Structure 1
């Protein structure tokens, strides 16, 4: 009997070793980006009315020569071990470097698409450095308060609200986060007091997720869908020429979910172009080339195959945003 228990223990240990080994391997495997290089949008001509620049994850800089504003402003990108095992905080040097690469000195607003750390953690420091308003949910504003941003620099918005920034109009539509092991995609956990970093990554609770509709007076309508979640019918009756489509974890979803997401976001607004965002491993510093999320957490190859098939069927163009380079959205 003792020998049998010993043999069973060895088998169990061997199984655990195999599982751990598989986890380590998958955490280091990143789908290649080379197959999608030809989809990269060209640099914007100097006379373009609206230009956008992409800085990884869901950080997008919109500008028209008069007004500039930014979603998220996430530049710190703490390492995976720091996120998993320690406490994290904004990295001022990384933020300054990111703003310099974007040629940003002044912003009208910083608008996190929700309040997780990879969207809202840096936003108050970006606002401080650029004279911007921090615009978002009550949870996002508590991130700002925790970093000492004054009340005159905070603007709370609720579902259905619109904000005018120069010739841009932003409309905030309630949405949901993609279901993950950390977020069920339905429950909204809020930040109910000023969040003072450093803190564990899960202190940056989701708050309200936004589908952010953007319109410019010179023409053009865009949708920033920061997470691969949705509320059925929420975007019905809305229009956008281009969707900046959050695709994080989409490659691990089943066909039914991907179909619903496409229908409720891309088809609902009648978009003719889709630009994937939130596909990169957001703990890789921005002084290194962006890489796709590792296969342990997502499958960008599956995502792109699925998007391109749906786009071909529905007459939609799939393009990739260049990093830090102005392009026409």
Structure 2
């Protein structure tokens, strides 16, 4: 895809700043006191410039590898992809947490930052080990912070956030967005709950609760602004004004969330590109074409159709594993 350098929020902000600069105050009235001298506004620092190419690789579920020059950002990296019975009707919540060291060694040669949307096993399972191997900073909820401590990660490598933070990492920034987890057909979810203190080291998938949910917007200097979801619900008011160029949108797990796609597209100001995520069978290897359960294939097709109906000018890209996309 062609490079897209449009940044609508920055454009609006700069326009507002320009309007303010041309408003010049007049002289004080002859009968009034002299106006105090004002210091000149400081010259803003130049925006960081990016060096090197940018690429986005889908790692299944809501996982991404983003290479920005010599930096690598990971979002919800879950590569071990072991069997819990979830896709065969034999779900076992006592399934032991497992890390596929060989797979991690094959895919993860480096990482500078790991963004965690929430702490269910299919999002957090591999995060502590990747952080140990690479020294990457882990950004996530307070639950992610306490779970990181339980795995032995140092405090200085863990960055607890709650939504609203904008973190600068040289040639890119990360805006943390408060969000919500998906609801199942019973209007509930698997393994709700938070960790307010470091627990014992987790042993089973049930030991990794949802722990609150976040979304992230990555803004790349001289590059696209990209929004990442890890679950299919959201706080509409928290998305207003983000206006990303590209949105990684999670597949609905049920119809419990009202008007999911139309509200999401409107809140995000109709992104130029939408990439559906979290639609594959994440208990199978990362081999193309991705394995999709029949019900999830139907939901994926419905999501694509709903995006096209709600946002006709938006391009929908259904990704493959490991393919380098450039927006």
TM-score class normalised by the smaller sequence: 0.7 to 0.9
Kindly indicate whether residue 201 of structure 2 is the aligned counterpart of residue 196 of structure 1: yes
Q: Residue 94 of structure 2 corresponds to which residue in structure 1?
A: 86
Q: CA separation in 2, counterparts of 1:195 and 1:276?
A: 35
- Structure 1 residue 189: Cα displacement: 2.0
Could you say which residue in structure 2 is the equivalent of 1:304? 304
* Alignment check: 8 A CA contact 2:287 2:321 kept: no
Q: CA deviation at 1:140?
A: 0.9
Q: Counting helix residues as a fraction of each chain, which structure ranks higher?
A: 1
Q: Secondary structure at the match of 2:236?
A: coil
Tell me how large the CA RMSD over aligned residues is: 2.7
Q: Does 1:253 align with 2:255?
A: yes
Q: Secondary structure at the match of 1:84?
A: coil
Q: Helix, strand or coil: the match of 2:303?
A: helix
Structure 2 residue aligned with 1:25: none
Give the alignment's TM-score, normalised by structure 2: 0.75
Matched, 1:128 2:122: no
* Residue 97, structure 1, aligned to residue 99, structure 2: no
Please show how residues 1-329 of structure 1 align to structure 2 within 5 Å: 49-81=53-85, 84=92, 86-93=94-101, 96-101=102-107, 104-180=108-184, 184=188, 189-192=193-196, 193-199=198-204, 201-249=205-253, 252-253=254-255, 257=258, 259=259, 261-270=260-269, 271-287=271-287, 289-295=289-295, 299-312=299-312, 315-329=313-327
1:265 is paired with a residue of what secondary structure?
A: helix
Any stretches of 5+ residues in structure 1 without a counterpart? 1-40
Structure 2 segments unaligned to the other structure (5+ residues): 3-50
In 2, Cα distance between equivalents of 1:162 and 1:97: 32
Deviation string 1:221-274 (CA, Å, 9 cap, x unpaired) is: 11102211011311112220010001141xx417x82x3x22443222221110
Shift of the alpha carbon at 1:114?
0.9
Higher CA-based Rg: 2
SS of 2:238's partner is: coil
For 1:272 and 1:190, locate their aligned partners in 2 and report how far apart those are by CA, in whole Å.
35
1:32-55 CA distance string (max 9 Å, x none):
xxxxxxxxx79xxxx974210111
1:167-187 per-residue CA deviation (whole Å, 9 max, x = no partner) reads 1101111110111268737x9
Equivalent residue of 1:262, what SS? helix
Question: Which of the pair has the greater relative contact order for Cα pairs under 8 Å at 6+ separation?
Answer: 1
* Conservation of the 8 A alpha-carbon contact between 1:171 and 1:214: yes
CA contact (8 A) 1:311 1:318 kept: no
Closer, same or farther in 2 for the Cα pair 1:234/1:195, shift >3 Å?
A: farther
Distance 1:294 1:98 in 2: 29
Distance 1:182 1:50, change over 3 A: farther
Query: What's the CA shift for 1:125?
Result: 0.6
